[in-house]
Amino acid sequence: MDHMPNVSLGVAVIGTGFMGKCHAMAWNNVSTVFGGARPRLATLCDANAEAATALAGSWGFEQGTDDWEAAIADPAVDVVSITSPNGLHRPMAEAALRAGKHVWLEKPMALTLSDAEAMTGLAASLPNQQTMLGYNYLRSPAFQAARAMIANGDLGEVHSFRGVYDEDYSADPTIPWNWRNTKEHGGLGVLGDLSCHMVAQMTELMGDVSSVTALTQTVVAQRPSPDGMKPVENEDSVVAMVEFASGAQGSFCSSRVARGRKCRLQWEIHGTLGSIVFDQENMNELWVHTAGTDGFMRHLTGPDQPDFTAFCPAPGHNFGFNEQKTIEARDLLRAIAGGPNRGPDFVQGLQIEHIIHAMAASNGRRVTIG
């Protein structure tokens, strides 16, 4: 395939949780789906050495270790997938870049805006290293089709965006306190965990953000721990008004305590000639309205949408989360081989961080995005 490496690249994956497993599956599947040389899975790393060693074999890795610094420094490793807790994103990513490795880093990019700025500066000084952030929802064929429709002018002049990203994984107040509830290890709350995905989609579809006005809320102020009740230091929900550089306007809501919601990453875009509606809970369909028709038409995911055919030749068959991760791996490999970096790379990721940190700091004030 175009721009796919013709030599096998060595891969290290850091983390064996849900996202580490997603990266391992993507690296195992990418050449089967898209061609090119099969990546060599060199090292699986986890803080639990027994887990790393046990899973390395079944996941297809040559070895397991609990030493992430050694895994990064290994000359047999060319690409590092980082799926660790948020507080380790900066040190691991910077170590990998300094060691001459390409980096696939899960979101959020960093704990703080200053961390993200430092990471971006380092990456910019090392142009031979490719970076990519794990905003996998951008790879959905339905999303790619919607983006193409907007770029082609099918909606006319786009003037309005409405976005919601709700889940309920923190709605139960008896759920134990953990590192995600702290600024030191988790950073932002729902803004860093969920909302950044919505920002990534919003900016891809609508362009640059010029300002935000937001309010955040911590609904569950304390959570139980073995040492007693501990405070939740970051936000559970956010509501925001958004102004785009184009002159368009938008609204933005996100919550990790929305009872009954599982992955309601939903957006609606209005233009002078039409509208598009998407909901991640029904990720294999777009609803499109065009001028001159009475309502919306349902468009099922199928071979007419980007990247679908590589997995399945038949329309109406469901696309999934892990297929999106495989496309991410493909895009990173293409960038390494000299093709364009579809991103978000660290430069684009920094813009996402500027927006979510502006929302966190707004407290009802209009904050300009520089």
- Per-residue pLDDT tens for 10-53? 999 999 999 999 999 999 999 999 999 999 999 999 999 999 99
* pLDDT, position 1: 47
All domains in the chain, ordered by first residue = 10-135 (3.40.50.720), 141-282+284-319+340-368 (3.30.360.10)
Run of H or E residues at 237:
strand 237-244
* pLDDT, position 2: 66
Average pLDDT over residues 177-194: 96
Average pLDDT, the chain: 97
For residue 91, pLDDT beyond 70: yes
Alpha-carbon distance values, 113 to 117, 118, 228, 350 (Å)? 6, 9, 31, 8
Average pLDDT over residues 131-160: 97
Residue 75: both structure tokens together? 């000359």
Average pLDDT over residues 73-99: 98
Alpha-carbon distance values, 110 to 89, 116, 118 (Å)? 6, 5, 10
Angle between helices 18-34 and 321-336 (to 10 degrees): 60
Provide the pLDDT confidence category of residue 355 given band limits of 50, 70 and 90. very high
Alpha-carbon gap, residue 239 to 169, rounded angstroms:
18
Please indicate whether residue 7 or residue 49 has the higher confidence score (pLDDT). 49
* pLDDT, position 286: 97
Say if pTM beats, i.e. exceeds, 0.85.
yes
Provide the pLDDT confidence category of residue 156 given band limits of 50, 70 and 90. very high
Residues 234-263 pLDDT 10s: 999 999 999 999 999 999 999 999 999 999
DSSP state of 168: -
Strand, coil or helix: 207: coil
Residues 280-334 pLDDT 10s: 999 999 999 999 999 999 999 999 999 999 999 999 999 999 999 999 999 999 9
